[in-house]
Structure 1
């Protein structure tokens, strides 16, 4: 499932033949020198299976609820809801791929599902991973721009632009994994395994290119956008002197922190393992530990599929109102009226995923109930003509 360098393909062989495993073993012996490290593979497999299962169950429920609430929710629930909906779809795609990796780990990396699924499973995972990361960066940029010019006209034009951005993200994310997936093969020798198999002579160059492109596109480029525009949004909110500005700034910091904590260990380990041997020399014990824990770190990175719905949706009273609005459609009529009243009350308090701006072209009501401390950024009421405009307007 990862872009970590795997055994390379012996030159001049057909895919249906047995590969030159002596060359591959020589490669691994050169890359991983002998050293004694007590590591229990059985314990790791059990821990990975349990962790994958937990992420799958929780992530599946959370992202399905997010999609249900934002897809069937009332119109005008927030200008940034389109990003949240698409990000939940991408995270759901990652979650749906987890049973494959969970079983692969349990079977000691034996691949039992054929050549096509070997490539498609990797492609499906990476396409959704890039989509989720890119949409998160676009959401961070658009959130700040919406805060900075919330009173500007052209709401419909900006919504069309958001649709175009989301479509472009999906197209780009669908194209990026193709060079890597083209070199993923099902190796049927001792046991069938799904591996990254570049030509043996150029394997090192291919491995470095794939690892660098994954890290640059999936982390180094999105991180500055996510960090900078969340910091700018926090400064904007502090200038507005809103009662909940401090708590909202903490939440903006949590967005950046979760992205770094989930993805930095994965990309750092990926680069170190890829460069080890041919380009840098790691200590024997460090190399062994990195290879051993790479799958654990890879699994840990998928926690973003569980944390994103919480940060961007479940902490918002507005989201809970939309979710209730979507659920009461399926309740008996005797309970539907009560559900709609509760939904209306919750929606009046807040509107978008965690950080949200309701004012795009029309001011909110002058009076608001006390907001939940977690996240709803509302534009301030339109000030009098003599007063300076509010930063959130």
Structure 2
């Protein structure tokens, strides 16, 4: 983990000693661990299934979907990588935040967490901007030159995410003899990392995502049909989901940067909640597939076609009124 919260968590119990009693507040760490583990388990099971489906369908429909969905495909890859490292954190929670996986996985766990954090947010911001540009300038947005630009942007986003996360691999390490924990103890590193995460993960992307989506919603407002209203609701759901997934985490990150100025009770509460809100950031791995894929008719259309294609013939029947895809060469409906 990127903070010293692992050691803070392990060294606290239900009793206080000496001067600590002056500001001691009772915090139920057992309930916190159970809640954190339960959330991790949910995000692992649901996020794994959802992102596998999203990657599979987006890869199959890569020729037919608009090029801007390249950002959604890359975001799904980032979310999948994040989900695959959840079991390490689940085990860490079970062992009272002791690290049993060795030094290399300790570094990779923190490194990949921040790579997926940055990249997922970056691709979300790119998709938001591209959605507005494509709506305002539809002909230009589908040109081959613009498609190449999108691919270059994706490469740049991954590169920036990796570069911002390299310090995690360098400074995060396993510490301790009898009880081994995975964290970084260098306070300068923690402050710099927290500031960079707050800046590139929230302060910069948030206005980009909000402004782009609001402008997109206003651009489709001219039409009063049901589909237009539904589209605007989905667009506003993008903003709400982003705020729900990331705001609690970045509030804690912001407060941790100024922990020396916090009252003792607030200081304890901040680090008490740190692991839980960090866990809850994985909610984007569950919400992103729903909002950016499953809620759209085109994706559900291709998902149905892909499922039907691999179903035994006895479960499907022909229907002259419904066309699934050119790839199936015939018309089928699930019975």
Give the TM-score of the pair, scaled to structure 1. 0.75
User: In the alignment, is the contact (CA less than 8 A) between 2:175 and 2:183 conserved in 1?
Assistant: yes
> Is 2:269 the partner of 1:289?
yes
Aligned equivalent of 1:186, options 174, 177, 185: 174
> Is 2:279 the partner of 1:299?
yes
> Is 2:248 the partner of 1:268?
no
How many Å separate the matches in 1 of 2:29 and 2:267? 16
Residues 20-99 of structure 1 mapped to structure 2, 5 A cutoff: 34-73=22-61, 75-99=63-87
- The CA RMSD over aligned residues, in Å, is 2.5
329-338 or 318-327, larger mean C-alpha shift: 329-338
Secondary structure of the residue that 1:238 maps to in structure 2? coil
TM-superposed deviation, 1:332? 3.1
TM-superposed deviation, 1:2? 3.9
Q: Match of 2:332? A: none
User: In the alignment, is the contact (CA less than 8 A) between 1:5 and 1:207 conserved in 2?
Assistant: no
How many Å separate the matches in 2 of 1:212 and 1:206? 10
User: In the alignment, is the contact (CA less than 8 A) between 2:54 and 2:73 conserved in 1?
Assistant: yes
Give per-residue Cα distances to partners, 1:123-148, cap 9 Å, x unaligned: 11111111100000000000000000
How many Å separate the matches in 2 of 1:70 and 1:291? 39
User: In the alignment, is the contact (CA less than 8 A) between 2:134 and 2:141 conserved in 1?
Assistant: no
Aligned equivalent of 1:130, options 93, 111, 118: 118
Q: Match of 1:382? A: none
149-158 or 174-183, larger mean C-alpha shift: 149-158
TM-superposed deviation, 1:33? 7.5
How many Å separate the matches in 2 of 1:75 and 1:95? 27
How many Å separate the matches in 1 of 2:2 and 2:242? 18
- Please state which structure has a larger fraction of its residues in helix: 2
Q: Give the number of aligned pairs.
A: 316
| Structure 2 unpaired stretches of 5+ | 9-16, 327-335
How many Å separate the matches in 2 of 1:218 and 1:129? 7
Cα 1:55/1:5, change in 2 over 3 Å: closer
| Structure 1 unpaired stretches of 5+ | 9-28, 346-393
Secondary structure of the residue that 2:183 maps to in structure 1? strand
User: In the alignment, is the contact (CA less than 8 A) between 2:78 and 2:116 conserved in 1?
Assistant: yes
Secondary structure of the residue that 2:222 maps to in structure 1? helix
Residues 198-237 of structure 1 mapped to structure 2, 5 A cutoff: 198=186, 203=187, 205-237=188-220
155-164 or 209-218, larger mean C-alpha shift: 155-164
How many Å separate the matches in 1 of 2:244 and 2:263? 25
Secondary structure of the residue that 2:174 maps to in structure 1? strand
Aligned equivalent of 2:324, options 343, 346, 354: 343
220-229 or 120-129, larger mean C-alpha shift: 120-129
Q: Match of 1:325? A: 305
Aligned equivalent of 1:159, options 147, 163, 166: 147
TM-superposed deviation, 1:46? 1.4
How many Å separate the matches in 2 of 1:304 and 1:156? 31
How many Å separate the matches in 2 of 1:144 and 1:122? 34
User: In the alignment, is the contact (CA less than 8 A) between 1:3 and 1:210 conserved in 2?
Assistant: no
Aligned equivalent of 2:133, options 139, 142, 145: 145
